[in-house]
Amino acid sequence: MIQLGFVLILLIAGYIFGTAREKSHFISLRDREQKLNMISWRSTGKKEVFEGVSESTLVMGHVVIGQDYFKSFLAGLINLVGGRVSVYETLLDRGRREALCRLRQVAKDWGGTEVVNVRFETALIGQNQGKQRAGAVEIFAYGTVVK
């Protein structure tokens, strides 16, 4: 009974804090994306011949992002019936946008104008022993900035 109560408290706390943090994260992402408008990015350009480019360098951005207790519990339930696991879709969306924002921020600080050949990589991090539940994901973005 005590255990059940404990889980319930964790679920409620996870729901309240997790939702609030997700909301503020999306707001901050939108703001930063607007500020980084002038740094364009694309996934092409690997074999391109760049005219009028004097300098270039590798830039990276990454983030490790975790799911809250409520949403991972919900994902476990969805897993039973199958279908779209929307709680993880938003998590990965947040992670990708965050990693891209950081990458573009580095590119901006460096004085670049465009990031080419952007690649994303996703890795599972800190999976708890024996537990199926994914602890966190690392999303890593890298590309070449030119100016």
When asked if residue 22 is in the footprint of another protein (CB under 8 A), the reply is yes
Residue of 17, 38, 43, 79 interacting with another protein (CB under 8 A): 17
1-40 burial code (b ≥16 CB/10 A, e <16)? eeeeeeeeeebeebbeebeeebeebeeebeebeeebeebe
When asked if residue 76 is in the footprint of another protein (CB under 8 A), the reply is no
How far apart are CB 25 and another protein at their closest, in Å?
A: 7
When asked if residue 112 is in the footprint of another protein (CB under 8 A), the reply is no
**Residue 125 CB partners (closer than 8 Å, separation 6+):** 64, 135, 136, 137, 138
When the beta carbons of 48 and 93 are compared against another protein, the nearer one is: 48
- Euclidean distance between CA atoms 63 and 57, whole angstroms: 21
DSSP β-bridge partners for residue 144: 58, 116
- Euclidean distance between CA atoms 1 and 67, whole angstroms: 26
When asked if residue 33 is in the footprint of another protein (CB under 8 A), the reply is no
When asked if residue 117 is in the footprint of another protein (CB under 8 A), the reply is yes
How far apart are CB 67 and another protein at their closest, in Å?
A: 6
Q: Which residues bind another protein (CB under 8 A)?
A: 10, 13-14, 17-18, 21-22, 25, 45-50, 53-58, 60, 62-69, 71, 91, 98, 116-117, 119, 121, 123-129, 135-136, 138, 140, 142-144, 146
